Structures are given as structure tokens and as C-alpha cells.
Chain A
Amino acid sequence: MVANPTGTTAEAAAEEKAGRGERLFALLQRHGALVVLVLVVAVAAFAFDRFLTFRNLENIVAQSAFLGLIAVGMTFVIISKGIDLSVGSLLALGGVLAAFSVQVSGALALVVPVLACGAIGLLNGVLIAKAKMAPFIVTLAALLGVRGLVLAIAGERTIPISDAPVFTWFGRGDVLGIEVPIFIMILAFAVGALVLNRTSYGQAIFAIGGGEDAAQLMGVAVDRTKIIAYTVSGALAGLAGALLAARLSAGQPVVGAAWELDAIAAVVVGGTLLTGGYGTMSGSLIGVLLLGVLQNLINQVGTLSSYTQQMASGAFLIVVVTIQIYLTRRRTL
């Protein structure tokens, strides 16, 4: 069906046999997002004077960092043929919990959101793996329930964060002139790529996505692998929420609506298949950056309403997934 992540030599041989057009499609499917990103940046650099400044680019990457953290977890989940719709609500929960616990200590403000959201991710994972419930319905219920929980904890009010210089440093401080969230995102993607490509856990994720029954028969600990994936996805969403709260100096209960869609879009744009079994961490990073650049351009143009943006992101998702489906179809023929 799709490329076997372990058999790079077999894959190379197969590609050599394939025609030139076939190879082009394979290349597009894998690096299409990179090509689009380069094109968009090139066009933007000509169209807007302020686009290609260090400050603007740094800003784009720093603001993408929060979606980036979520996309790392989402990549694991989607490669395992799952989906996690709860990340947007967990982001809000993480932010609100951080804003409350920072009043006790700055360290707690990072630990509590990660643990709490990780626990909800664990619950998602157990229901999906052990109770064999469909991932989208479990995480859809979590989307709804966690948002309710956030509003129950915080009401509809924003919880301000003050006098916490150490904690807010994680959200908007800088090291060597580069913002801290950027380092955190790069670290997350690096670790994610390492785990995905160089560990038995990563192989287990690919195996499950390729075929759960086969993976089970091969001796892969299917349940445990899935549970860990959803736990990590939840924990990363909590971390992203805490860092976003640190950046904004506030925990906002309404933040994160439709972020699950952006995260899925970023991962899919990056070439990871929604049908599971194939995907890359670097692709997801490029997908996140592409969404960040597009958002930045929308802001630069400045005349598009948020409603038009919603329409555009819906259409964008359909176009990308459609193209991906046709490219993979060509590839597998």
C-alpha cells in the first residue's frame, strides 16, 4: 500500500523502476509542502517590504511554535491511523491551569498543565485502545467535555498572569536574540523525529498505522503504543497552552477553538497520510510554518475578515487533502 518506513533500500529500488512521472509524483507528495512554502515566501518577499525582515520571520516562527507542539503529537496520532480532536480544548485547559498554578510557583505552572492534559490524553488513549472506541468520537467528546471543564473552572473570564518573570520568559523571553518558544518547538520536533524514525516506538506507530492486526500479530504492543501516542498528544497540547498563556500573560478559556483543524491541516499538508502508516515529522514542521506564513500574509494584507479566513482555511484543507489523495493514488498504482 504505502511506503514501508523501514525498507528504504526496497523503496529506492521500487522508485528506480518507476517512471519519471511516477517519481515526480512521489517527490511532490513528500516535499510538496516545502515547494509551496518556498514559493509563498518568495512571492511574499517581493510583495511586502516588511516580510523578509528578521523580526517578522522570527515572529512568524515564534507564533507557530504553539501549533507546532500540538502538531508533533498529532503526527504520531495520525500516523497510527488515529485522530485527536481534543487538542484545542486541551490548549485552553493548559493555559487556564497555568494561570492558576503560577500563583503558587512558576515551575508548577509548566508541570500542572502537562500532567493534567496528559492525564486526559491518557484517558482518550485508554478508551480508544482498550475499549476499542473510534478515535474521532472519543476525542470529540473530550473536545466538548474539556471545553465545558475549562469554562466551569474559569468562567468566561481571562485569568491574568502577573509577577511571574521566570514563567513568562518561557513564552516570550529570548536566548541569543531568538525567542524561547522557537527553541522549544525545534526541540519538540527534533525529539519527535528521533523517536519516530530511530526507536522501536516509532516503528510500532508506523506498523499500527499500516495495519493494526498485522502489527498485533508481529508482536507490537498495540494498545500501549496507542495510549502513549494520545497521552503525548494531550501533554504537548497542555504544554502549548501553558506557553501560550506565558506569552500572552493570561490564561484564556476561549482560546484554541478550531486549533485541531489547523493541526490536522498542518500535518496533512506535510505529507502525512490521514489513512495512517506514512508520515514525517519534518513535513509537519513545514506544514506548521506554511500555515504561519499564510496567516502572516493575511495579516499583512489586513483587509480580510476573520470570517473570510475561516472560509479560506476550510477550502485550503479540502484542496490539500484532495491533492494528497490523488498523488497517493498515483503512487500506489
Chain B
Amino acid sequence: MSRATTEARPFEAGRILGWARDNGVYVAFALLVLFNAVFTTNFTTTATLFNLLIQVAPVLIVSLGMALVIGTEGIDLSVGSVMAIASAIVPLYIGYGWPVAVLIALVVGTLAGALNGSLVAFVGMQPIIATLALFVGGRGLAQVLVGGQLQIISDPSFLALGQAEVLGIPLPVIIAGVLALIVGFVVRRTTFGRYVLAIGGNRAASYLSGHPVRAVLVAVYAISAALATIAGVLATARLSAGDPSTIGILIELDAIAAVVVGGTPLSGGKVSVAGTVMGALVMQVITATFIMNDLPFTYAQILKAVIILIAVYIQRGRGSV
């Protein structure tokens, strides 16, 4: 692979790469499912399928917000900590009824995201630094809120959020699916979606075209945090406890991986929502493969790191010219 300083790629390799960028995630998913169908016992059962979908729901929801942020050529490392904050707030206010608790969590989470967005949009801070600060500080805040202890939640109507079924389909799966459809619609059919892609493609040009760049950036980070809050609420309901020390740990990596594996380049300007959904499924199936075959989880971590690198390698130099 000798490349000159200018971008000149051999034709064939370029075509194969281009195809792999758009469809690699579907191939990877098919291969993973095939592998598990053959080698993993009990993989092809409805129970496993539903379990898989329930577990993928938080990652998927977080990935949707991450896809929007990455579409603007940004990154949001704070999603896991925002989930932890949500998980800490719900048990604090569950006494007023779960809608109030969830609403407060949503307000706080969205404000935290708006803070991220303001640092990026108005101060001009690099997204990675702005969200890294909340990544560290946010989990600290969540721990302070719960007093460093796990808070058991027993309100049955709240727990239903993570465990109930509608028409035989688990509620978290339905919520994740609806959110995916909404985000897909926003990206494809709304002005806001166009702004997101324009900013990611070329922020300066977008600004000069009169787009509300700063407002859109603040909104994108706020949406990402709001989605992370929903994911945090679902994870909390599933766990029956507010536990900032475990909820959302390392989820930013799974989410970034899901987005990039799904065909959204880190350089912004393009968002593939369907690819992101598939990407999240791929990451979850990898986790499930290791767990169901009793393999040490640390190896899954190493494998995911390698997959992120391969995906970014394939997606690189795309989007921006």
C-alpha cells in the first residue's frame, strides 16, 4: 500500500472499500449470527433473541445520539456518565411518582448535554475535551447524588419500563425502535437533519450559508444527552436499582463503534441510522457470543477494540474531502 501524498487509490481496492463501507456491517452481522447458530448452544431461540434485543436497547438508543453528534464531526464521550446521572436521579425523586422522576432526569441530562454543546459551539472547545470533562465529572456527580451507594427501586410501575411487554415485545425494544425511526426521519426528512450534515461536511461553509450552526450544535449534544438519559432510565428499570458505579460504563465505546461500524464516518457529513442500528446489534452479538460461550469478557474488549480500528480504517478519508 504505497500511497503518494495526494489521495490516489487503485480503482479495484477503492471499489471494494466503498462497498465494504456501506455494507460491511450487514455482512459482519450475518457472519456473527451464522457463527453463533452453529457453535453457540441455545442461540437460535426466541428467548435469546428477545434477551439480545433488550440488552441492545440502551446501547442502540445511545448510539442514535452519537450518530447525530458524529454527523457534525463531533464526538460525545459523556453518554455513559449521563446515563449514570439519570440512574442516580430516578431513585431520588421516585417518591413523587416515576413520571416526575424521569422528567427531572431528562431535564438535568438535557441541560448537561446543552452544556457540552455550548462549550463546543460558543467557546470553541474541541468536542473530545468538552465531553471528556463531563465523562469524568458526571460520574462523580452521580455518585455524590446517591451517596456512593446502590439505591434499590421497588416502584412496580417504574420497573415495568424495563420489563413489561406489549404484544409480546419487550417495552425497551419498542422504545428503542420508535426512537430509531424518529432519528432516521429527522436525519432524512427535516431541515434540522440537513443542518447536522452540512455542519459536519463543512462547518465554516455552513455558517457562511446562514445556517444556525451554534444552535444546531447545542441541540445535537442536548439530544445525545437526552437519549442517553432515556437509556439510563431503561437500564435502571432493568436493574431495579440506581447504580452509578456500573450503569453506562464503557458504553461510549460501544456507541462509537456501533456508529462507525454502521457506515457513519468520524469526519462527519454523513449519518447512517440503519447502519447504526445494525452496528449496535453487531457489538451486542459479540458481547453475547463471549458470555454465552463462557469466554473471558476481557477478550471481547480486545476484539471490540480491533473491530473499531478496522471500521475506522475502512471509513477513513470519507465525508470531508
Instruction: List the interface of chain A (C-beta within 8 A of B).
Output: 83, 127, 131-134, 136-138, 140-142, 144-145, 147-149, 151-152, 216, 258, 261, 264, 274-275, 305-315, 317-318, 321-322, 325-326, 329
Contacts and interface: CB of A to CB of B under 8 A. Distances in A.
A244 B110 CA distance: 40
9 contacts: A133-B309, A134-B312, A145-B301, A216-B5, A308-B144, A314-B137, A315-B137, A317-B136, A322-B125
A81 to B, nearest CB: 11
A151 B144 contact: no
Interface string B122-148: 011110111011111111110110001
Interface string B102-115: 00000000000000
A314 B133 CA distance: 4
Contacts of B18: none
B141 A311 contact: yes
B119 interface: yes
B137 A137 contact: no
Among all A-B residue pairs, the 6 with the closest Cβ atoms = A314-B137, A310-B140, A145-B305, A148-B301, A307-B143, A311-B140
A230 B10 CA distance: 29
Contact of B137 (A141, A144, A147, A310): A310
B123 A325 contact: yes
B68 to A, nearest CB: 18
Majority-rule SS of A interface residues: helix
A152 B299 contact: yes
A325 B120 CA distance: 11
B296 A321 contact: no
Contacts of B140: 306-312, 314
B235 interface: no
B214 interface: no
A305 B148 contact: yes
B173 to A, nearest CB: 27
A148 B309 CA distance: 15
Nearest to B127: A136
Contact of B309 (A138, A309, A312): A138
Interface in B219-251: 250
Contacts of A325: 123-125
A242 B132 CA distance: 27
A127 to B, nearest CB: 7
Contacts of A312: 137, 140
Contacts of B285: none
Interface in B296-311: 296, 298-302, 304-306, 308-309
B188 interface: no
A133 B313 contact: yes
B184 to A, nearest CB: 24
B298 A141 contact: no
B94 to A, nearest CB: 21
B266 interface: yes
Nearest to B244: A307
A138 B253 CA distance: 12
Given A138-B309, A321-B129, A144 B143 contact: no
B299 A148 contact: yes
Contact of B144 (A145, A307, A318): A307
A305 B299 contact: no
A17 B128 CA distance: 36
Contacts of B298: 148-149, 151-152
Contacts of B296: 152
Nearest to B141: A311
B309 to A, nearest CB: 5
Contacts of A309: 140
A140 B302 CA distance: 12
Contacts of A131: 313, 316
B126 A274 contact: yes
A70 to B, nearest CB: 16
